[in-house]
A and B are shown apart, each in its own frame.
Chain A
Amino acid sequence: NAGVTQTPKFRVLKTGQSMTLLCAQDMNHEYMYWYRQDPGMGLRLIHYSVGEGTTAKGEVPDGYNVSRLKKQNFLLGLESAAPSQTSVYFCASSTPGRGNTEAFFGQGTRLTVV
């Protein structure tokens, strides 16, 4: 039972490079999310999706783009990486609910931008 799988687990980028983080879930969840985790700040929502083909901005969307072409996948793109995007990125998924359903998290992607 894989749950939520993130690829890659680690990456080092140079400033200005681009990359895509892949999130895959096998639980048939409607909702998917991308968060970033920075020391002393908890997790902050970057973008989210409430279904295939739909995406929306979260709390800190600048510098990121997302796509949800398939229900099971949610991609996070950095078009031109900046040192401020050095962080640990978490993908999560959940079923629809009135704020009371559990979100399942991947193991994270540690990204360093130099």
Chain B
Amino acid sequence: AQSVTQLDSHVSVSEGTPVLLRCNYSSSYSPSLFWYVQHPNKGLQLLLKYTSAATLVKGINGFEAEFKKSETSFHLTKPSAHMSDAAEYFCVVSPMNTGFQKLVFGTGTRLLVSP
């Protein structure tokens, strides 16, 4: 079985400071891991994904995440927050060896960015 824990429901940062959104996962199989972003009243957009290639994954808008198997973590980071980064972020796990894309979502982290 797969599960995802997003350790913070809300994260507040100032514009220009680093962002860290934490995610731990549990998976019976080698996982694929994703981060999706949801801006207010919008659908979900893929930020980045890990699929067993490089453990450091770069995504859109300057975000990146590092897969750490020993810590079962996939934390999302950005060196410098921008006001437009304010949104809800979802960590998602999917077992890699299934023919069906079974996505399991975390409960989300709301990122607040102040001027």
Contacts and interface: CB of A to CB of B under 8 A. Distances in A.
Contacts of B31: 99
A105 B44 contact: yes
Contact of A45 (B96, B99, B103): B103
A92 B51 CA distance: 20
Interface stretch (B68-76, B78-86, B104-112): B104-112
B90 A42 contact: yes
A107 B107 CA distance: 18
Interface in A76-114: 90, 92, 94, 96-103, 105-108
Nearest to B107: A42
The majority secondary structure among interface residues of chain B is loop
A19 interface: no
Interface of B: 4, 9, 31-32, 34, 36, 41-46, 49, 51-52, 90, 94-103, 105-108
A99 B102 contact: yes
Given A31-B100, A31-B101, A102 B46 contact: yes
Interface residues of A, number: 27
Nearest to B95: A99
B98 A99 contact: yes
A103 B32 CA distance: 12
Residue of A44, A96, A97 with most partner-chain B CB within 10 A = A97
Contact of B100 (A35, A40, A42, A50): A50
